[in-house]
Chains A and B, each alone.
Chain A
Amino acid sequence: MNSVSVRALLVRGMLAGLATGVLALITAYLLGEPHVDSAIAFEEAHSHDHGHDEVELVSRTMQATGGLATGVLVYGVALGGIAALAFCVALGRIGRFGPRATAGLVALGAFVAVFLVPFLKYPANPPAVGDPDTLDQRTALFFLMIALSVLLAVAAVILGRRLAPRLGNWNATVAACAALVVAIGLAYAFLPSGDNVPEHFPATLLWEFRMSSLAIELVLWTGFGLIFGEFAERLLVPKAAERDERQPETAAVS
């Protein structure tokens, strides 16, 4: 395997990210946008400060279509690329999994580490939730939480691989996951709370907004795992099969 396949995998990861981004965009438009609109309506009804006398730079319609599409698709492509690189590292190193299963596991891991773990501490907030004065702090905490979560997840995978020869694959995985849960629990306990909800903000709207955010990410990562898994399997498996058939002459030209 040479660097061409890393490049090929990166490109396929970005394409898979774009494709699954389209699915996530549809989810966002259908499930998420109504809640964004409701939250903006609440914000305007309760606005007691500055900010709404300004000229609108981008119309609501554009924000909900072109703007949303830009955001979700670029997010999909970028995370697809990163996940493809993670896949390159994980392939053949996390156990006896083929490309498709590895892609599924990487997608699951990315969903948990990049989205779910940070989301449970600092969940997505609709417009009107979140004091602009605390934005700097919230942004720093949010990215810190993602970085911490990803680092801990990587550490857990390494720990699991180290424990595997002694405990067996199953028990090593359980032990590594348990260690990860404890570490994340500690991080949750020590990081400050992200609560920002203004008084009288409808609880149902907040819940539904956050569930739609969860749904978008679930669609994004499920789609990525399946689509990229298919790409990777097609790219890597014929070669692998061929190689195994003529094992002695490894450098055979295909």
Chain B
Amino acid sequence: MAQSVAPVSSRPALPEIAPISLKEIAPWLAFGGILMLVLLYFVGAEQGATSLIAGKDVHEWVHDGRHLLGFPCH
């Protein structure tokens, strides 16, 4: 953890927080990120311009949220 190589000219000051390595983050970013985007899709866009589920129930249910959160609704 004590990486004294990277910063060339910076003053030694407050204890620096070590970055989390990107390798550790990548799987979470990929799967967590996709899951979150799917959630956002259902709140923001399903049964609007594109539709995976037939009908208008999803659209009608989240209708007010869609308007107030700024998504194009209809």
Contact = CB atoms under 8 A, between A and B. Distances in A.
A88 B17 CA distance: 11
Q: Which residue, B29, B50, B62, has most C-beta atoms of chain A within 10 A?
A: B62
Contacts of B40: 74-75, 78-79
B25 A135 contact: no
For chain B, the bracket of interface size reads: 35 or more
A136 B50 CA distance: 8
A99 B28 contact: no
Contact of A71 (B9, B48, B55, B69): B69
Interface in B21-54: 21-22, 24-25, 27-29, 32-33, 35-37, 39-40, 42-45, 48-50
Q: Which residue, A58, A91, A165, A243, has most C-beta atoms of chain B within 10 A?
A: A58
Given A58-B60, A81-B32, A247-B2, A212 B68 contact: yes
Interface string A98-110: 1100100000000
Contacts of A57: 55-57, 60
A93 interface: yes
B17 A3 contact: no
Interface residues of A, number: 71
A2 B62 CA distance: 38
A221 to B, nearest CB: 12
A6 to B, nearest CB: 5
Interface string B3-27: 0000011000111111111101101
A29 B70 CA distance: 15
B22 to A, nearest CB: 7
Interface string A1-32: 11101110010000000000000000010001
Contacts of B71: 124, 139, 142
Contacts of B8: 165
Interface of B: 1-2, 8-9, 13-22, 24-25, 27-29, 32-33, 35-37, 39-40, 42-45, 48-50, 55-57, 60-74
Interface of A: 1-3, 5-7, 10, 28, 32-33, 36, 57-58, 62-64, 66-68, 70-72, 74-75, 77-79, 81-82, 85, 88-89, 91-93, 96-99, 102, 115, 118-119, 122-127, 130, 132, 135-136, 138-140, 142-143, 165, 209, 212-213, 216-217, 236, 240-241, 243-244, 247, 250
25 contacts: A28-B65, A32-B64, A33-B64, A58-B61, A64-B64, A67-B62, A67-B65, A71-B62, A71-B68, A74-B40, A78-B39, A81-B36, A82-B37, A88-B28, A88-B29, A91-B19, A93-B19, A124-B67, A132-B74, A139-B45, A139-B49, A140-B49, A143-B45, A213-B67, A250-B1
